[in-house]
Amino acid sequence: MITVIVHIENHSDFCDNLVAVAFDVVCLPRIGDTVFITGTMRKHLEEFIKMNIKFISRYTNCLYGASRGIDPHDITDDNFKDVAKDLSIDDFIYVSGVLFKYPFNQVHIQLSDNYPSKI
């Protein structure tokens, strides 16, 4: 088994190390492949993103409902909890990036909600 560290695509950082979970796979996924993470892993990532304004502002691409398309600068202490309710990574199933970190021998993948147009 190969341990892969999963990241969710955002508009700030490629393979954001602050929001990640690890799981084991039999073979490495490629860009464009579909990867489903468990509900527990998804909940862990969502709860971590919802922890503070800094994180949720970086992951506005994960917002749905009334908060869809909100500018990160418009998220304040007053509306933070309402915005956090609209966060979901359910659609983030497509591998948009793969990174091998040497000398740590770590494989990182980044999941997106959009199928990559160029593979």
For residue 10, pLDDT beyond 60: yes
Q: Could you tell me the pTM of the whole model?
A: 0.87
Distance CA 118, CA 96 (A): 10
Helices (H), 1-119: 39-49, 53-58, 80-85
Ramachandran bin of 68, using left for φ above 0, alpha for ψ from -120 to 50, beta for the remaining angles = beta
Q: Are 75 and 57 in contact (CB under 8 A)?
A: yes
For residue 12, pLDDT beyond 80: yes
Which carries the bigger pLDDT value, residue 104 or residue 86?
A: 86
Question: In the chain, where are the structural domains located?
Answer: 2-105
